[in-house]
Structure formats: structure tokens, C-alpha cells
Structure 1
């Protein structure tokens, strides 16, 4: 008694042996359609469907994948959503940006210096200035940064005597107003 494993989906059936590879079918479709402006994806798909009967269920996906792959490799050229064969006399397509400078071949036995490091170069040192002492990471001297706060202990340090309790109205919020000096009347 054979049991099927439900974890593994059934493998897709292999394409019919009489069916050629997709790049061959695409090139045949473009040659047969022979449009001067090229053939669009739907025209290529219609030709392949009418010529080759037994196509896989994912025909549209496979066609789009192979068209894109052929375009990337340079077998096809896409012009205004139409695919066509590249012109053999056309100059090679240049990439974006400025082209790199041509490299001059070095004579044999030449030692190549390492590339310049990134960042700003250091300032030149004064040959007559005293040599700075090398900094040692062992911690001699004062440590860097703000010193840590002292931990509060149980015994409080001696404080100034507490002020006598104030009599009268409680103090208001904020800074108290400036006291104006009393002015004596001027006699005649």
C-alpha cells in the first residue's frame, strides 16, 4: 500500500519533448512576424500559441522571463515595447555616466603603490617642535571625561545650622521683588 506525502507538492510535468526551448521559439516568432518596428509580447505569445499546441500552464510567465533574460543578455533589443534582433552594425550601447579612463599598461617589474587612504591628510609636523609624549592607554594621569558622582553614604556630612522658622506670610513663588530704598523728604 503506497501513501502519498502531503508535505511535497506534485512536481510539474516536464514539457513535451517535441516542444523547443523558449529562446528558440521566441527567435522563430520574431523572424516569422518580420515587423520592421519589432514584435510586442502579445504578438510573440499569439504566434507561439498558434504554432506550438502543447504549452505548459505557466506559458505567459515563462515567456516574460525568457524575453527579459534575452533582453539582458543582448540577444534581443527592446524598443518602444517591441522586441527585435539587435542590429549587428550598431555601436555597442554605452552605460550611464562618464566612461572610465583607459588604463595604461605598466612596464613589467614595476611596483604599484597602495591607493591613497580616504579622508583628509594629516597636517605636516614642525620638525623643531618638541616631540609629544606618547599617550599610554594604561591610565597614567587624569582620566578623560567627567568624574563619576560620589555615592551617598548613610552618615550625612555636617551641614550648616538650619535656618529659624520664618514667621509671617509664606513665601511666594519666583524671585522676590527688588526692595526700593526709602527716600527722605527734602526740607525747604
Structure 2
């Protein structure tokens, strides 16, 4: 006898996917409807004819509708996808339309290229040229003999950085 009562309860309301889609349509929210709003709308419409585990069945059905693509889930809201979605434009400027050409005619470029094509022959003169900044030339020819036109520094070797400031008392003594 309990089975007869369950059948009569299930026959007293439509299927859950139909009720959910009707509730979303009735609510008519632009950004979609939350699970709570859908549940309240279904309860207000069908009231005491719903089963005791209504919230569990609602959650399962919403998940199935979302997975099948009949509902979109955006920012915790469920909404129906557009029947005729507008094509999304990519980033940047849209391409120019091409003129209609008769069949067999080839499209010619209006201007020639500004630079000639690169020579890929490895034996050409530019193949040995290295990229980037050239290395610094040393001040010597490889031996300890200075290169021509370079004067040999005299005096003690200077250290790195700024020389220490000489105090005024030491400067007076050295001048005397």
C-alpha cells in the first residue's frame, strides 16, 4: 500500500527537470536563479505534493542538468543557455573582408615587400656574423706588452671604489 501512495505522489507533480526549468523561467532573473530561489519557487507552486527528500532530489537533478548542458552554472546561479547565442568576437580588430574573386584567379599583393627575403645559405657573408654586443678589446695584445697607442699607467695600483677622504689635519702636514 505504501508503493501506491509513492506512485500517487510522484504522479501529482511533473518531473524535476521540468519543474526546475519552469521555476527558472518564472523567476526570470537576468543573472540566473540560486538553488534556494528555485527550491522556494517549486515549493510555492507544488506545495505539499513534493516528496520528503525534495532538497536531495533537487540537488541531484540540478547537477545532472548542469552536466548535460541544459543549464549553465555561473556565480552560484543556474540559468538557461540562450537558444540563439551571439557569436563571441575575439580580441583585437576584426579582419578585413576579402573581395570576391572569380574562380582560378590568384590574389595579388597590392604592394611589394619592403625587405627582401633573408638568404638562408650558411656560406654567405652574414652567416659568420655574431649577434649581440661585440666583446671588449683587451688593452694588451695577449702578452704583457702594452698595445700600440696605450700608455702604461704609473704609480701605485688603484683599488676599487671611491678613494677615502683625506682629513684636513693630514692634508696640512703633507703640504708642509
TM-score normalised according to structure 1 size: 0.41
Larger radius of gyration between Structure 1 and Structure 2: 1
Q: Which has the higher helix share?
A: 2
